[in-house]
Amino acid sequence: MRAIVVERLGPPEVLEVREVPVPQPGPGEVRLKVETVGINFADVLAVAGEYLTRTRVPYTPGMEFAGTVDALGEGVRGVQVGQKVTSLGGRGGLAEYAVSPAAALIPVPEHFTAAQAAAFPVSYFTAYHGLKTLGHGQEGEWVLVQAAAGALGTASIQLAKALGMNVVAMASTEEKLEIARQLGADVTLLQDDPDRVQKVREAAGGKGVPLILEVVGGKRFQESLDMAANRGRIIVIGNASREQANMRPVELMKRNLTVTGLWLTSLMGDQEATRDAARALTSLVGSGRVTPQVGPTYPLAESARAFQDLLDRKTTGKVIIEP
């Protein structure tokens, strides 16, 4: 079968298409005929060797993919060959076939396209955990969503609005802000607006925002502290700037701020949090209030271009690759 293989870590150009053996599902695993793969910023960082965990090469990227169950490993129950599923926590998705733990499969809502199925798990579970599980967002509260037209950003706006929250959305271009407005953002601001700190504080009644989903990091992190309301909660979800932030803990004391880290991979091990998120998301998806925003779609052979476009901030919604 054809698969992307990374033999050395580096920029997206290290992604190469190779012929490799079809993987066999181990005990408790299933094999999928992959239709669509959702590409996350984490994939770009992992290939660059800059992710939270060490990337071992050679490997095939792709942690989020949708398709049809094609073979069952030993001991798998409750999953049928031929079933349409999406996987959160599988491996090697950028290939014609990939394996996933059966426990990591999520049934695909009937009205989702294959691309929407692959665009769903990472962004929506992360957004839910940021807004609710760790962020404790309440109806009527303001939340700041950065990189608002991206995969996580669009998911966060949709979920926040569906949960009755008010959204300040930030992004780098007017076109991206228009996407945020169409999804219901109440206030939109360019990331480089010279008065952004003051404008965010004013949007939330002059007091600053009580909840911030922080994905840019670097020197922008200090700004997030400045934009937060007293007793504000800043959920650190990403570091898209790839820069180090300087934070003096006394800054937190002055206004009773809380900074909480969120990593979906480790939260997936929390069965109660995962079950609660799944229940809430299933209900919102069923009510039609949550529709994954599909971005540009590329064939497997153009995976390097897909990764580069994501890195260059050229994409909106979830980047999809079709093996």
Q: Are strands 84-88 and 64-72 parallel, antiparallel or unpaired?
A: antiparallel
Q: Which residues pair with 95 in a beta bridge?
A: 3
- Cα-Cα end-to-end distance for the chain: 10
3-state SS of the chain: helix, strand, coil percent to 5? Answer: 35, 30, 40
> Token pair of 61, please?
């990227």
Residue 42, interface with ligand NDP (CB under 6 A)? yes
The residues in 56-85 that bind ligand NDP, with binding defined as CB under 6 A, are none
Q: Give which of 102, 141, 121 is closest to 36, Cα–Cα.
A: 121
Contact mark string toward ligand NDP, 175..194, x via CB under 6 A: -x--------------x---
Residue 124, interface with ligand NDP (CB under 6 A)? no
Among residues 23 and 238, whose Cβ is nearest to ligand NDP? Answer: 238
- How far is Cα 296 from Cα 91, in angstroms, rounded to an integer? 22
The residues in 296-315 that bind ligand NDP, with binding defined as CB under 6 A, are 310, 313
Contact mark string toward ligand NDP, 239..268, x via CB under 6 A: xxx--------------------xxx----
Among residues 31 and 220, whose Cβ is nearest to ligand NDP? Answer: 220
Residue 134, interface with ligand NDP (CB under 6 A)? no
The dihedral built from the CA positions of residue 268, 113, 22 and 55, taken in this order, carries a sign that is negative
Q: Which residues pair with 318 in a beta bridge?
A: 294
- Of the residues 123, 158, 188, 224, which one makes contact with ligand NDP according to CB under 6 A: 123
Amino acid letter for position 87? S
Residue 206 CB, shortest distance to ligand NDP, in Å, is: 25
Piece of the chain touching ligand NDP by CB under 6 A; list 62-70, 192-200, 233-241, 286-294: 233-241
- Of the residues 86, 87, 116, 126, which one makes contact with ligand NDP according to CB under 6 A: 126
Residue 172, interface with ligand NDP (CB under 6 A)? yes
What are the DSSP E strand ranges found in 215-293? 228-236, 258-261
Piece of the chain touching ligand NDP by CB under 6 A; list 8-16, 72-80, 142-150, 276-284: 142-150
Burial string for 120-147 (b: 16+ CB within 10 Å, else e) reads: bbbbbbbbbbbbbbbbebeeebbbbbbb
Residue 158, interface with ligand NDP (CB under 6 A)? no
Size of the site for ligand NDP (CB under 6 A): 28
Amino acid letter for position 65? F
Residue 159 CB, shortest distance to ligand NDP, in Å, is: 13
137 CB-side CA count, 13 A: 31
Piece of the chain touching ligand NDP by CB under 6 A; list 89-97, 132-140, 238-246, 300-308: 238-246
For residue 250, report the phi and psi dihedrals to the nearest 5 degrees.
Answer: -60, -25
- Of the residues 171, 200, 209, 281, which one makes contact with ligand NDP according to CB under 6 A: 171
Residue 119, interface with ligand NDP (CB under 6 A)? no
Task: Give the long-range contacts of residues 306-313, CB within 8 A, separation 24 or more.
Answer: 306/12, 306/39, 307/12, 307/15, 307/39, 307/43, 307/44, 307/47, 308/11, 308/12, 308/13, 310/39, 310/41, 310/44, 311/12, 311/44, 313/172
Among residues 35 and 43, whose Cβ is nearest to ligand NDP? Answer: 43
Residue 301 CB, shortest distance to ligand NDP, in Å, is: 22
- Of the residues 41, 120, 142, 298, which one makes contact with ligand NDP according to CB under 6 A: 41
Residues making contact with ligand NDP (CB under 6 A): 40-42, 122-123, 126, 147, 149-153, 171-172, 176, 191, 215-216, 237-241, 262-264, 310, 313
